[in-house]
Amino acid sequence: MTGFIKLIYGDQEFKLPVFEGSEGEKAIDISRLREITGLITLDPGYANTGSCASDITFMDGEKGILRYRGIPVEELAEKATFKETAYLLINGRLPNRDELTSFSVLLNDNSLVHEDLRVFYESFPRSSHPMGILSSMVNALRSFYPELQDLEEEINMTVTRLLSKIRTLAAMSYKISRGHKVVYPRPDLAYCANFLNMMFDSPVKPYEIDEDVVNALRVFWILHADHEQNCSTSAVRLVGSARVTLYAAISAGIAALWGPLHGGANQAVIEMLSDIAENKNMARVVERAKDKKDPFRLMGFGHRVYKTYDPRAKIMKKMCDSLLNKLKISDPLLDIAEELEALALKDDYFIEHNLYPNVDFYSGIVLRAIGIPANMFTVMFAIGRLPGWIAQWKESMDDPNWKLGRPRQIYTGPTQTKLVPIDRR
C-alpha cells in the first residue's frame, strides 16, 4: 500500500487505499468499496480495472515494453527456446540444465494422444474451423485422463500433458481435415521441429526440417507466450475461478482467442491483405476503417494497452523479413502490408487514435512462409499462448485472496411490472 485516495460522495468522505506494483503502476483498491459506500464501479470492457495482482508479465503500453518474469521479450526471442520460455512463465524462473532435461523427457513421454480421440475428429464436418475443434478436443481430453485425484499431482501432470498434446492435437486436426495420414510425434525432435514434422511430413514426401523455419516458429511462439490479462487469459482465469478443471479453463481460453478482435485477427489480416491484392482497394480499406458508420476495422492495427508500436510486432517484422529472405520467398502480401502500414502511419486518424501495427499484422506472412494454412493461424497463436494461460491459471489457483469471479452490474431495465395474461398482450 502506498497511500490513500479520498472519495467524496454527497456529504460523506471515504478513504480508499492505493496499491503499488513493482514497476510503479498504481491502483485504487476498491475491494471494500461497496461495503463502505454502497457503490460499485462501472467500467465497460474493464479498461480501467485491474482484475488481479500478478507476478508473471509486465507490459508498458506507452513505452512498448513486454517482459516475462522480468526478462524482456526481445532477449527471450533472441536467446531462449520456447520450452524454456514456457518453463519460465509457469515456474517463475528459467530451468537449469537438469530441470530442462526432465521437462523435455516429460513432454516427450506425454506427446501421444489416445487413439480413440481420432473418432472425434472424424465426426466434425470437414469444413469445421480448427479453433472450434481444438477447444472441443482440449475439453474432451479430461474424459481420457480422469485418473489422478491428488490436486498437486493432477496440476503438474495436466500442465505437461496439455503443453505436449496440444501440438499433437493441432497437427492431427490439420491432417485429418485434409484426409491425410496422421503423423506421430518423434522422440528425437525438439518441441518446434516436432510440431512442424507432424504437420508436414507425408509418406510420399518426407518433411525436411529447415532450421530457419524452426527458428521462426520458436520466435513466433515466444512472442505469443503471454500477454497479461487479455481477453482469453481473463476467460481462463474467470472460468477457472469456478474451480473447473484446467482442461475446461483452457478450452474457454481457446474459444475466446478465436474472436477476430483477439487472436483471430491474424487470419483476418491475411484475408484483408488478400482482398487488397485482388481488388486493388487499399485506399478504400483505409477509408472504411476510419468511417464510424462502418464496423470494419484495419485488422492487425490497434491495441487496448499499446499506444505505441507493439514490441512484438517489431520483432515479428524483422523476423518476417529475414525468413522470407533466407527462404527466397517473395510474398506480394508483404509488399501490401508494408504499403498499408506506411499509409496508415501517416494518416491523421491513425496518428490521433495511436493506432500502430500489433503482433498480428506481420505474423500471418511468417506463418504463410512456414506453410501454415490461414485457418490454422489462430491455432498457432493458441499453442504459443498455452504456457501463459497455464501460468495465469496456476497463479490464480495459488492466490490466498482467491475469489469466484463474479462481476456486478447496474440494472437499467424495467422496474417491477405485472405479467399480462396471453390473451391481453
Binding site for ligand CMC (CB under 6 A): 45, 227, 230, 261-263, 265, 289, 297-304, 353, 355, 358-360
- Would you state the cell numbers that stand for residue 357, as one nine-digit string? 501495427
Indicate the residue among 85 and 229 with the shorter CB distance to ligand CMC.
Answer: 229
CB of residue 146 vs ligand CMC: minimum separation in angstroms? 32
Q: Which residue, 294 or 335, has its beta carbon nearer to ligand CMC?
A: 294
The alpha-helical segments, DSSP class H, found in 82-129 are 82-91, 97-109, 117-123
CA separation for the pair 208, 371 (Å, rounded): 13
For the record, the C-alpha cell of 256 comes out as: 475466446
Q: How far apart (Å, rounded) are the C-alpha atoms in residues 279 and 219?
A: 33
Instruction: Tell me if 108 sits within 8 A of 165, measured CB to CB.
Output: no
Asked if residue 303 lies in contact with residue 358, where contact means CB atoms within 8 angstroms, the answer is yes
CB of 26 to ligand CMC, least distance (A): 21
Position with the least CB separation from ligand CMC:
302
Judge whether 227 counts as a catalytic residue.
no
Closer Cβ to ligand CMC, 341 or 360, answer by number = 360
Residue 30 Cβ vs ligand CMC, minimum distance, rounded to whole Å: 22
Q: Which of 389, 360, 374 is nearest to 163 (CA)?
A: 389
Instruction: Please state the closest distance from residue 87 (CB atom) to ligand CMC, in A.
Output: 23
Closer residue to ligand CMC, CB minimum distance, 51 or 104: 51
Taking the complex as a whole, the smallest distance from the CB of residue 333 to ligand CMC amounts, in Å, to: 16
303 is a catalytic site residue: yes
| CB nearer to ligand CMC: pick between 142 and 304 | 304
Task: Please give the torsion angle defined by the CA atoms of residues 262, 293, 282 and 261, in that order, rounded to the nearest 10 degrees.
Answer: 0
Cβ atoms of 148 and 161 within 8 Å: the answer is no
- Quick one: 159 or 289, whose CB is closer to ligand CMC? 289
Residue 1 grid coordinates: 500500500
Q: Is 187 helix (H, G, I), strand (E, B) or coil?
A: coil
| 116, 360, 399, 423: the active-site residue | 360
DSSP 3-state of 330: coil
* Catalytic residue (one of 201, 226, 303, 310): 303
Q: Which is nearer to ligand CMC, 186 or 288 (CB)?
A: 288
Rg of the chain's alpha carbons, rounded to an integer?
23
Q: Residue-wise over 34-56: b if at least 16 C-beta within 10 A, else e?
A: eeeeeeeeeeeeeeeebebebeb
Cβ-in-10-Å burial (0-12, 13-18, 19+) of 177 comes to buried
CA 30 to centroid of chain Cα atoms: 28
Nearest approach in angstroms of CB 272 to ligand CMC is 10
C-alpha cell at 307: 499506444
The minimum distance between CB 105 and ligand CMC, in angstroms, equals: 33
CA 311 to chain centre: 15
Q: Which residues are catalytic?
A: 303, 360
